[in-house]
């Protein structure tokens, strides 16, 4: 019998991601092509099957429209992923989707470079470009 088979960790579902904490701040220079970059080495979520942690350097780059994300609210939002069981590729897409919906930016890229686990590193990148009307 596999001595690890009975081991499990508490894994939260995606509904534990705290969207309500996100806030916006007015951006006074829309149309200026200002690039905003947020970078953290402390992004964590967990494997949805094992509950083992995934650690990543997360970079969010965007060109704002009329809004910026309030930084403290972004930190709390990202921290809410800590015990969420989510695939690495899904995490970047979920973050992108949530922030695009909140901010309506001109463009945005969310990139996560995960630390090595099992001898393999992973990097996932999701991007958005506003369609011109």
- Among all residues, which ones are annotated catalytic? 47, 54
How far apart are the C-alpha atoms of 102 and 105, rounded to whole Å?
9
Q: Tell me the torsion sign for CA atoms 89, 94, 95, 99.
A: positive
Apex CA 8: angle with CA 3 and CA 9, to 5°? Answer: 145
- How many CB atoms neighbour CB 104 within 10 A? 14
Question: Shortest CA distance to 84 belongs to which of 47, 118, 59?
Answer: 47
How far apart are the C-alpha atoms of 83 and 91, rounded to whole Å?
12
């Amino acid at each position: 019998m596999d001595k690890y088979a009975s081991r499990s960790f508490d894994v939260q579902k995606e509904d534990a991601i705290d969207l309500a904490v996100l806030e916006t701040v007015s951006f006074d220079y829309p149309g200026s092509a200002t690039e905003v970059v947020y970078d953290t080495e402390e992004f964590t979520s967990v494997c949805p099957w094992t509950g083992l942690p995934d650690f990543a350097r997360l970079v969010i780059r965007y060109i704002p429209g009329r809004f910026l994300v309030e930084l403290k609210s972004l930190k709390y939002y990202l921290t809410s992923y800590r015990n969420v069981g989510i695939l690495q590729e899904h995490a970047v897409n979920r973050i992108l989707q949530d922030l695009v919906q909140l901010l309506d930016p001109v463009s945005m890229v969310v990139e996560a470079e995960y630390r090595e686990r099992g001898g393999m590193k992973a990097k996932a990148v999701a991007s958005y470009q506003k369609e011109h009307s």
